Structure 1
Amino acid sequence: MRITGFETIRLKSQPNLLWIQIETDEGLTGLGETFRGAEAVETYLHSMAAPLILGENPLDIERLHKILFRGYLGFNGSGVETRAASAIDIALWDIFGKVCNQPIYQLLGGACHERMRTYNTCAGVDYNSKSIQRRLIQTGEEKIRGRYDDQVAFIENPAELAQSLIEEGFGAMKIWPFDAAATQTGGQYISAAHMRQGLAVFEKIRLAVGDRIEVMCEFHSMWNLTSALAIARELKQYRPFWAEDPIKMDSPGLLADYRQHAQIPVCGSETLAAQSTFRDLLAAHALDIVMLDLSWCGGITEARKIASLADAYQKPIAPHDCTGPVVLWASLHVALASPNAIFQEVVRAFLNTFYKDLVTQLPVLEKGFLLRPTEPGLGTTLTQAVKADPQACVRRSVLPL
């Protein structure tokens, strides 16, 4: 079997998302996805990656991964080269699953879990897309948007939000009530007033629902160490499940200091790539939970290595998804096949709105758990509407005759 060509697709309505469909001479197609900097990744795929993969056997996944991911550039970061390699890798595993007529998690050794527990990241429908609000208004979907605008709700009505998630079967939620304060001060200090505002969100949730839901706090790496520790000292009383990316994730020593003094479990980080980066953080005793984004860390091939590394350190993993539906599918397969996976992130605002427009099938979410897929490969394809979008940018690279 040979790779005969591929095409990339991106939409004006979802400017951060980029899909790749890899074609073979046996008629099988694999779907991959990455996120952020879509135009730059698109250019790299057609100009640099195409000569490296066209004509190659798509089942030589590890060999192609080494060529693309461990090349001269990109191997130690989550930039363009890594995101391109991640998208290709996901697509190759999709082809592998279709060749074997098995879901990807079976090819990774089989499922370790009957179903995968989720938490809801409390983003709104338009969290990653400025243009989606216009579409919602034009199609009369404002009621849906309002129902799932969890990013507004966790600030304005946190108690009601927590209750609604519990009613849907979620056992955990993630919020970021300190981000606005960090934006105002550049993360260099937090005032007493801002501290009180952020803590009030957690207090209202705990008073309303007690310990019936776990609450994760996302910090988006926006604070310096001094301020992050100041927040942790006050936040600890509300029993957060984890503090995610409390500082810049580029210093194992500083993060280890935070972990020791904050006494809140540290989760990190979707922003990191390659098992070597996670190795350094784990070796420094800087992490409690390993979060990885398959479109940024090196795809399924690298993700399973990171998951195994975390398991060797007796640390759980929780794959990231606040990006696109294909990465959610890929992440679910890795989570199901990883004995140390404890959560798969989902965004109910995305699942209930625009994700449905992009792919033919979504993972089945049932009372806070994602069920095992049964279809070969990833288990989904792009909808016809994606390529038919008049504003879609579709580019092709093919094997020369």
Structure 2
Amino acid sequence: MLNCCIVLPEALALCWSTIFLQRSIVKITGVRTIHFAPFANITFLELTTDSGIVGLGETYYTPRSVTAYIGEVLTPLLLESDPRQIEAFWRRAYENSHIYGNKGLEMRCLSAVDVALWDILGQELGRPIWQLLGGTSNPEGVPVYNTCASAGYGQKPPDISRKVSTAAPGTYQDFEAWQPGGDAGELARSLLDMGIRAMKIWPFDRFALANHGQTISFAEIDEGLQPWKQVRDTVGLDMDIILEGHGYWALQPARRIAEALEPYKPVLLEDLMKPDNPRTLAKLRSSTRTPICASELLMNRYAVEEMLRADACDVVMTDVTWAGGITECRKTADMAETNNMGVIFHDCTGPVTLAASLHLAAHATNTWMQEIVRAFTLGFYLELVDHPFVVENGRMQAPQRPGLGVALKPEALDRDDCQITVLN
């Protein structure tokens, strides 16, 4: 008894773990999706177990299709299944869909389920997900960069980079700040005042629309450089800047943009070209000194492996709620580490994406940065979930509560614009 008292915290954890693992019946009994009309691209997923634990997941884009696929294909696999068997479920769901092609909707839905299963496991064991993964490699927190979008950005399908978002009064209007007539230098100063030392902008996108990204003039290059000049004139090199390209450009104009940016010392070129042809992306990489980042659009580790084999990028980006969930993105991060590369976790999406990403980013030894959108974290994320995402000294901590550490607020579920679809 004395020894048990001395090691009480560890013994208690082992006791709960043993009880959980030895339960003869652990099963999923409820599946439902949740959608809020103002955030039209985001679908939340809740899985309920026979013990009353609710696991939360999320994915992005085509919410009606997401609900239909989860209901038709994944719910029959989930109901009465053991939520502890995450890897086995992932493989079963993946194999059920790969013969039809599964790099889009199917992978997004599997991602949402996977995150919810990890949330259940952590809550059952009384531990945050980052501990279940093997602890933290980043005890001081995960370095973040701010994607300079505004409130409302990307919330209405189709809503892509060429559309100026409508920012609600009193919210951060970071997108408008680096548009023509704005002041990207003051935007950078505002971010630095919050402790954020890296930002991402996409000032060349609008020039790709006229000719499908086949050419860009020197006059357009100069116009696209204006926010870069403003940042460097205002804060010098205190702010790291990432270029987002959204995959709009062909090889020749991509090279021209990369060359023009070099005097302004961009820290990364992200998706300047589509990542679907690693060979041509490798040509871009060989022509610039700026590191190439690719890409959450690859959707799984098999596509990432092709990118790495082609020597087409310097940093890997993945999205936990697009590209296979925690289970798959952990393998993607490990693959990047094996190739001596860093990994960035994408979030221009929703609060569950950010929470799940932070758990994996805290764990991975090769985490480079975590993407955030302060207009979201200080805006609608606070409306919907019960966990505040706080930046301190340029870093953000993973949630400390068991499981995901984030839940939808009960009052959010009572909103008039909330639609709940029960699938079981």
TM-score interval for Structure 1 and Structure 2 normalised by the shorter chain: over 0.9
- Using the alignment, how far apart are the partners of 1:252 and 1:58 within structure 2? 37
Counterparts of 1:305-384 in structure 2 under 5 Å? 305-384=331-410
Q: Given the superposition, is the C-alpha separation of residues 326 and 228 from structure 1 closer, same or farther in structure 2, using an over 3 Å criterion?
A: same
SS class of match (2:178): helix
Question: Retained in 2: the 8 A contact 1:175–1:218?
Answer: yes
Contact 1:21/1:91 (8 A) holds in 2: yes
Q: Does 1:222 align with 2:237?
A: no
Distance 1:76 1:245, change over 3 A: farther
Structure 2: runs of 5 or more not aligned: 1-25, 158-166
Question: Which amino acid is 1:152 matched to?
Answer: E
Q: Deviations over 1:122-166 (max 9, x none)?
A: 0010112259xxxxxxxxx94422xx1101101211111111111
Alignment partner of 1:389 is 2:415: yes
What is the CA-CA distance between 1:203 and the residue it aligns to? 1.4
Question: SS where residue 363 of structure 1 aligns?
Answer: coil
Shift of 1:392: 2.1
Following TM superposition, by how much is the alpha carbon of 1:327 offset from its aligned partner in structure 2, in angstroms? Answer: 0.6
CA distance in 2, matches of 1:130, 1:52: 31
Return the TM-score normalized by structure 2.
0.89
Q: Distance in 2 between matches of 1:87 and 1:98?
A: 17
Distance in 2 of aligned mates of 1:229 and 1:76: 32
Counterparts of 2:411 and 2:156 in 1: how far apart (Å)? 20
Q: State the match for 1:121 in structure 2.
A: 147
SS in 1 for 2:287: helix
**Corresponding residue number in structure 1 for 2:312:** 286
Count of aligned pairs: 387
Distance 2:398 2:279 in 1: 38
Structure 2 CA distance for partners of 1:339 and 1:294, relative to 1, 3 Å: same
CA RMSD, 1 decimal: 1.5
Contact preservation (8 Å) 2:114, 2:324: yes
1:362/1:190 CA distance change after superposition, 3 Å: same
Query: What are the ranges of 5 or more consecutive residues in structure 1 without an aligned counterpart?
Result: 132-140
The alpha-carbon deviation at position 268 of structure 1 amounts to 1.1
Q: What percentage of aligned pairs have identical amino acids?
A: 39
In the other structure, the counterpart of 2:71 is: 46
Give yes or no for the alignment of 1:151 onto 2:175.
yes
Distance 1:241 1:74, change over 3 A: farther
- Which of 126, 143, 147 pairs up with 1:101? 126
What is the TM-score with the length of structure 1 in the denominator? 0.94
Q: Following TM superposition, by how much is the alpha carbon of 1:78 offset from its aligned partner in structure 2, in angstroms?
A: 3.5
* Distance change in 2, residues 1:113/1:75 (3 Å): farther
- Residue type of the partner of 1:53? L
**Structure 1 runs (4+) greater than 6 angstroms displaced:** none
Counterpart position of 1:243: 269
Instruction: Determine whether 1:55 maps to 2:70.
Output: no
> Against the structure 1 CA distance between its residues 372 and 43, is the aligned structure 2 distance closer, same or farther, given a 3 Å change threshold?
closer
Q: Per-residue CA shift, 1:166-194, capped at 9, x if unaligned?
A: 11111100000001111233211111221
The equivalent of 1:89 in structure 2 is 114
- Which of 317-326 and 256-265 deviates more? 256-265
